Amino acid sequence: MIYLCGVHSIAFALFHAAFWRLFRWRTELARVGRPTRAIVQILNLRLIHVFLGIGIVCFVFPEELAGTPLGRALLLLMALFWVGRTIEQLVFLRIDHPLVHGLTAAFVLGAGLFALPLL
């Protein structure tokens, strides 16, 4: 199960790495102010870093994640991260589109994957 958490995290790192192309940030972000443009890109780079780090930890330390208080705390934090991300999706991205619904499902999946080893 924890390996699946790692796959999920690395997949999201790769997805976020594609944001510049997928969302045409070169032109789209040129329309907003410089601070907003910088903040969006910096936050995205930090998310890539976090997702890669969590993914690597899942592959290198699966027993520690499942069997130590610190590992279980990290699993709980990631489950809560995905629960929060799901709620934020519903609040801020109210777009009725299959891709948006697919992303929401992927967030729910992340919450479940990280929560299951805690049971």
Residue 117's pLDDT band, with cuts at 50, 70 and 90, is very high
Mean pLDDT of 33-44: 98
Instruction: Give tens-digit pLDDT for 78-93.
Output: 999 999 999 999 999 9
Residue 1's pLDDT band, with cuts at 50, 70 and 90, is very high
Mean pLDDT of 23-52: 97
What is the pTM assigned to this prediction?
0.94
Which residues, in sequence order, are CB contacts of 25 under 8 Å at separation 6+?
19, 40, 41
Domain boundaries along the sequence of the chain: 2-118
